[in-house]
């Protein structure tokens, strides 16, 4: 049997933002998880429970919080959890930072 030439490329998991529906690498998105305690932001992507992903942009979070996030998590988001998510949303930038050409 002949040995394979070249390096194997590492698998990079892809996820879809529920706000804008763009596919991106999992690490570039913020995970929101439904757990028995309620809906929480999962910054490390390790919490147990059903998860959904959003970009770190306020526009994606606004679309997601209108109902797409609750649908993706298959749950109703309580008022307390919604307040926490909205507080986090207001800390995000309005638009993606422009990449400078150097």
Domain that holds residue 48: 14-90
Question: Is position 2 within any domain?
Answer: no
The per-residue pLDDT for 6 is 74
The reported pLDDT for the residue numbered 88 is 95
Report the predicted TM-score, pTM, of the whole model to 2 decimal places: 0.83
Report the distance separating Cα 68 and Cα 77, nearest Å: 11
What CATH number is attached to the domain comprising 67? 3.30.1230.10
Evaluate whether residue 100 is within a structural domain: no
Domain assignment of residue 4, yes or no: no
Domains identified in the chain, total number: 1
- Cα distances (Å, whole numbers) of residue 90 to 5, 16, 43: 49, 22, 16
Q: What is the pLDDT of residue 4?
A: 64
- Residue 84: predicted pLDDT: 96
Which among 21, 52, 16 is positioned nearest to 34, based on CA atoms? 52
What pLDDT sits at residue 8?
84
Q: 99 lies in a domain?
A: no
pLDDT in the model for residue 53: 97
Query: Is residue 95 in a domain?
Result: no
Q: What is the pLDDT along the chain (102 residues), one digit of tens a residue?
A: 566 677 888 999 999 999 999 999 999 999 999 999 999 999 898 999 999 999 999 999 999 999 999 999 999 999 999 999 999 999 988 876 665 454
Q: Name the DSSP letter for residue 88.
A: H
């Amino acid at each position: 049997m002949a040995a394979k030439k070249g390096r194997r490329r590492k698998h990079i998991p892809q996820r879809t933002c529920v706000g804008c529906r763009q596919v991106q690498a999992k690490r570039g998105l913020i995970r929101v998880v439904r757990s028995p305690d309620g809906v929480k932001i999962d910054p490390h992507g390790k919490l147990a429970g059903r998860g959904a992903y959003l970009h770190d942009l306020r526009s994606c979070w606004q679309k997601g919080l209108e109902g797409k996030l609750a649908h993706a998590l298959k749950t109703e988001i309580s008022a307390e959890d919604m307040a926490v998510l909205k507080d986090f949303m207001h800390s995000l930038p309005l638009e993606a930072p422009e990449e400078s050409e150097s």
